[in-house]
Amino acid sequence: MINWLRIAIFAALLALVSLMLMPIQVACLWLELKPRRRLPRYWHRLACYTLGIKVRVHGEVERRRPLLICANHASWKDILVLSSVADVVFVAKSEVKSWPVFGILARLQASIFVEREQKRSTGKQVNEMGGRMAAGEIVVLFPEGTTSDGNRLLKIKTSLFGAAASAVPYSPTGLVHVQPVAISYTGIHGMPMGRYNRPIAAWPGDIGLVPHLLGILREGAIEVDVDFGEAVDYDRHTNRKEVSRKIEQRIRSMLSDRLRGRA
């Protein structure tokens, strides 16, 4: 009973803050005002607090621009976590637009929606990513293309790394910086999470969103570590597959070390 009361109170608080911030964010997006990037960070920090997600950051966001962040993807919570520590914009599949609640939040954060099944539109979408990075926005890409069980990094896809190439002509230095980031769910109720409990935090396969969300709310005490790695420079001579291999190796290494307690 107490647990559900806590959930109801925090949900009401988050809903109230959301109703206050949404009109402001809509106006900022429409008028292209600077707070449109900062407001989502404050909202996501509150959301993490509401869900009982404790975020620990190791390293820092690359200061140079243009910047593309590539991170492993275990759950929808990855978006809350990354957005709580940096002013970022995400690359999302087009069907997210129609999701209840999450679709609205994605649009309010000015996410870049991609049509994965329509190859004709790939060039346009990649150019949009490049243009957004060239304008100073930090674009986040989940190159695995799907969520994992949180225990490992899946093979990453190289196609959307073309976004880095499309931003190169707009960069004053002729460089785009690609930064690897590892998101590791490591603790629950103050204890190491381990492989057995990690599916509580991860969202792999066909697990329903609502049951998974309720499970997170019931737990209310999850710890996640975010490791920012060394960026890889991308210029007009760079081989896309070579960069993707470097990024994959660095994410895999950071994730493995963090999950094994060796970081």
For residue 36, the Cα-to-chain-centroid distance in whole angstroms is 17
pLDDT over 80 at 170, yes or no: yes
Question: Over the stretch 203-259, which tens digit does the pLDDT of each residue have?
Answer: 776 666 666 666 676 666 889 999 999 999 999 999 989 999 999 999 999 999 999
User: According to the model, what pLDDT value does residue 247 have?
Assistant: 96
In this predicted structure, what is the pLDDT of residue 262?
A: 79
For the record, the structure tokens of 141 come out as: 């890409």
What angle do helix axes 209-219 and 194-201 make, rounded to 10 degrees? 120
Amino acid at 224: V
Decide: pTM greater than 0.85. Answer: yes
Q: Is residue 14 within a helix (H) or strand (E), and if so which, with residue range?
A: helix 2-31
Least-confidence region, from 15-19, 161-165, 239-243: 161-165
Q: Give residue 164's pLDDT.
A: 86
What is the average pLDDT across 171-187?
94
